[in-house]
């Protein structure tokens, strides 16, 4: 643990943004509305990219909103004090975001028709992305080496707990019609088809030229330069020199960072923890 984080029910949270009382209250009493759209991810899976795409679909490609309002106000994080306050006061259809594992998410989700989009990403790339992120941000204990972070990651001793439990927990809802699973890998491979799929899921009809705008304004390069989306507007005490949310934006960067021995050790644990899972869900398998 570190001065920056807190432990709630055995799971590490960024301590500056939330409180145990809020997490309790949220799970038991937060009302998910049928007209809500919720982006749920394990951190570093492409959360902010999906937020950008959803916002742009809602604005039919008009970038005014994404260029004038920070992403955490457009699609507030349910589990943060800041986001929770916005959502509580908000009338009508809301869009929101969460990294919560399913057992800590508001229980009302189970009886709600809210649309949930869950983004998965190869955990090896999630690990590498998380390693660089946590080292540059003052939100959790900073690992000294990738080896050390891998150890924490495989034990679930990182922000929002175990990747394996997060993914298995949320994917238990995958047969529901109000639940869409996307992968970072598919988003990279064929962004247009994925945007069209999201439009269909949300019941939004966009013209081809509006889809072009969504693609343009949610591109890696555009997001990297958009201060409303690249986290550069976070309070100074959250970030350190050289931080960038949009780091590389590629598939398979883990191959540049894992040693052969690390890759083998990771695979062994992965196989054990994901035993019995249909591989067709995971494009990296």
99 tagged catalytic: yes
Which residues in 176-247 belong to E strands, given as ranges? 179-183
For residues 29 and 221, which CB has a smaller minimum distance to ligand A3P in the complex? Answer: 221
- Could you say whether residue 98 binds ligand A3P (CB under 6 A)? no
CB of 40 to ligand A3P, least distance (A): 11
What's 233's DSSP letter?
A: T
Indicate the residue among 174 and 248 with the shorter CB distance to ligand A3P.
Answer: 248
Catalytic-labelled residue, pool 99, 103, 166, 257: 99
Q: How far is it, in rounded angstroms, from Cα 47 to Cα 12? A: 19
Backbone angles phi, psi at 239, to 5 degrees: -120, 155
180 forms beta bridges with: 117
Stretch that binds ligand A3P, among 36-44, 103-111, 174-182, 197-205 (CB under 6 A): 36-44
Stretch that binds ligand A3P, among 44-52, 155-163, 174-182, 197-205 (CB under 6 A): 44-52
Whether 131 and 56 have beta carbons less than 8 Å apart is answered as no
| Radius of gyration of the chain measured on its C-alpha atoms | 18
Nearest-CA neighbor of 23 among 33, 34, 12? Answer: 12
Q: Which of 48, 80, 98, 122 binds ligand A3P (CB under 6 A)?
A: 48
- Alpha carbon distance 281, 285 (integer Å): 9
Structure tokens at 150: 């891998």
Residue recorded with tokens 């934006």: 249
Smallest gap from Cβ 107 to ligand A3P, in A, equals: 24
* Angle in degrees, 0-180, between the axes of helices 47-58 and 208-217, rounded to the nearest 10: 140
Residue number with CB closer to ligand A3P (38 or 246): 246
Q: From residue 118 to residue 157, what is the string marking binding to ligand A3P with x (rule CB under 6 A)?
A: -------x---x----------------------------
Binder of ligand A3P out of 30, 49, 179, 270 (CB under 6 A): 49
d(CA 153, CA 141): 12
Contact track, ligand A3P, 211-250, x by CB under 6 A: -------xxx--x----------------------xxxx-
Place of tokens 């958009």: 226
Min dist. Cβ of residue 250 to ligand A3P (A) = 7
Would you call 27 helix, strand, or coil by DSSP?
helix
User: How near is the Cβ of 15 to ligand A3P at its closest, in Å?
Assistant: 18
253 binds ligand A3P (CB under 6 A): yes
Residues 158-217 that bind ligand A3P (CB under 6 A): none
CA–CA separation, 163 and 249 (whole Å) = 19
246 token code pair: 């949009």
Give how many residues touch ligand A3P by CB under 6 A.
Answer: 19
Given the rule CB under 6 A, which of 37-45, 58-66, 89-97, 194-202 is the region that contacts ligand A3P? 37-45
C-alpha–C-alpha distance, residues 231 and 173, integer Å? 30
> Does residue 46 belong to the site contacting ligand A3P (CB under 6 A)?
yes
**Active site positions, annotated:** 99
Contacts with ligand A3P, residue ranges (CB under 6 A): 41, 43-49, 125, 129, 218-220, 223, 246-249, 253
């Amino acid at each position: 643990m570190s001065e920056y984080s807190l432990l709630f029910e055995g799971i590490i949270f960024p301590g500056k943004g939330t409180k145990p009382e809020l997490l309790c209250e949220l799970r038991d009493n937060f009302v998910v509305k049928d007209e809500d759209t919720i982006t749920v991810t394990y951190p570093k899976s492409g959360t902010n990219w999906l937020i950008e795409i959803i916002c742009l679909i809602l604005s039919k490609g008009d970038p005014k909103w994404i260029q004038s309002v920070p992403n955490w106000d457009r699609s507030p994080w349910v589990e943060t004090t800041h986001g929770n306050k916005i959502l509580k006061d908000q009338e009508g259809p809301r869009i929101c975001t969460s990294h919560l594992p399913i057992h800590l998410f508001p229980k009302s989700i189970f009886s709600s028709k809210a649309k949930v989009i869950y983004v998965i990403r190869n955990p090896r790339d999630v690990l590498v992305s998380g390693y660089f992120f946590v080292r540059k941000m003052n939100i959790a204990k900073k690992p000294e080496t990738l080896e050390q972070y891998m150890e924490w990651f495989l034990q679930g001793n990182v922000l929002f707990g175990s990747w394996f439990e997060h993914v298995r927990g949320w994917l238990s809802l995958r047969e529901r019609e109000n639940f869409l699973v996307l992968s970072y890998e598919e988003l990279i491979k064929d962004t247009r088809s994925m945007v069209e799929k999201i439009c269909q899921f949300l019941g939004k009809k966009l013209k081809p030229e509006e889809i072009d705008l969504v693609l343009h304004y949610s591109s890696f390069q555009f997001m990297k330069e958009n201060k409303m989306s690249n986290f550069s507007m976070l309070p100074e005490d959250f970030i350190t020199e050289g931080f960038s949310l949009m780091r590389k934006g590629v598939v398979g960067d883990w191959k540049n960072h894992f040693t052969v021995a690390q890759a083998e050790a990771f695979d062994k644990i992965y196989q054990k923890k994901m035993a019995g899972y249909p591989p067709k869900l995971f494009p990296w398998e």
